[in-house]
Amino acid sequence: MQQILSIKNLSKQYGKVKALDNVSFNVPKGCVYGILGPNGSGKTTTLGIILDILKANTGSFSWFETNPDNYKRKIGSLLETPNFYHYLSAVNNLKITQAISKRGNEDDIHEVLNIVNLAHRKNSKFSTYSLGMKQRLAIAAALLGNPDVLVLDEPTNGLDPVGIAEIRELIKKLAAQGKTIIMASHLLDEVEKVCTHVAILKKGNLLVNGNVNEVFAHEDIVELNAADKQALLNVLNNLSGYTKLVEEQHAVQLFYPQGTAELDTINKYCFDNGVTLNLLTYKKKSLEAKFFELTNNN
């Protein structure tokens, strides 16, 4: 698979503080790559380095495999709350952004406003926009010149649930159009809903990275119950294959190595031993639970 970005052994120090410590990962073309971690984990530092805003102490990175000429024109970014003029319209603000960045042309302005669903408010002053609309206008500015890659730092930070949903749908739409999106976030639920790949950082260290489904699917969790819960527990004591049993208030959870849980086999075993199940289902471990499990144990 073609790599859009390759990061090799990046380290960055601020005095005695290690913001990044020997971090390496690759971003495949066409993915939505989430850089995830608590505050102070090194997410923004990573984005700053790959956008040439910060310099790493050691290590390297390359875009589009060989850093071709004008590669920066293929990358749109949103690192901070945009510095738009409150008394100007969306169109006029984007004209200024375009003049400074020298990306795209006037036709692009109307195109990006359509993409972020702000065409109907293109002549409204920026001061009249909601926070979600302001963030969408910032993404519109990043889309000028039709870049192949978008780099977004905390794109839903500070937004209400409606604004978060709007940005989430916009990211999905842009990804469906073939753009590669790299986003830093601490909002785990949002990463789970939009990202295909993830890198988890803690205190500058890379804990894990890869496909979201692979990173967060180390175990199969089966949830089951019966009218006579004690009888169920007695039967399960002699069932082989699972690694852990957890008794919850309204159910029992069995943990299996990934890909080994077979619901039909469990159901038949219980039935053959006199227990009829009234609940039997896979329960996916949430990204949040796995994230905290990883960061708390390292």
Question: Could you confirm whether domain 3-215 is CATH 3.90.1300.10?
Answer: no
Give the pLDDT confidence score for residue 272 in this predicted structure. 95
For residue range 113-148, what is the model confidence (pLDDT) as tens digits?
Answer: 999 999 999 999 999 999 899 999 999 999 999 999
* Sequence-ordered strand ranges (E) for the chain: 3-14, 17-28, 32-36, 58-63, 75-78, 149-153, 180-185, 197-202, 205-211, 219-226, 244-247, 252-257, 277-282
From 1-15, 136-150, 250-264, the region with the lowest mean pLDDT: 250-264
Q: Please report, for the chain, the start and end positions of each structural domain, with discontinuous segments joined by +.
A: 3-215, 219-296
Asked if 159 contacts 174 with a C-beta cutoff of 8 angstroms, the reply is no
Distance separating alpha carbons of residues 149 and 29, to the nearest angstrom: 9
Give the pLDDT confidence score for residue 124 in this predicted structure. 96
Fold match between domain 3-215 and domain 219-296: no
For residue range 167-185, what is the model confidence (pLDDT) as tens digits?
Answer: 999 999 999 999 999 999 8
Question: Could you confirm whether domain 219-296 is CATH 3.30.420.40?
Answer: no
Asked if 245 contacts 234 with a C-beta cutoff of 8 angstroms, the reply is no
Q: Above 90 in pLDDT, residue 88?
A: yes
Q: Residue 56: how many CA atoms within 13 Å on its side-chain side? A: 22
Distance separating alpha carbons of residues 79 and 157, to the nearest angstrom: 11
The CA-based angle 126-128-130, given to 5 degrees, is: 95
Residue 261 pLDDT grade (very low, low, confident, very high; cuts 50, 70, 90): confident
For residue range 21-44, what is the model confidence (pLDDT) as tens digits?
Answer: 999 999 999 999 999 988 889 999
User: What rounded mean pLDDT belongs to the chain?
Assistant: 89
Residue 288 pLDDT grade (very low, low, confident, very high; cuts 50, 70, 90): low
Q: Which helix (H) or strand (E) holds 193?
A: helix 188-194
Distance separating alpha carbons of residues 209 and 99, to the nearest angstrom: 38
pTM of the model: 0.78
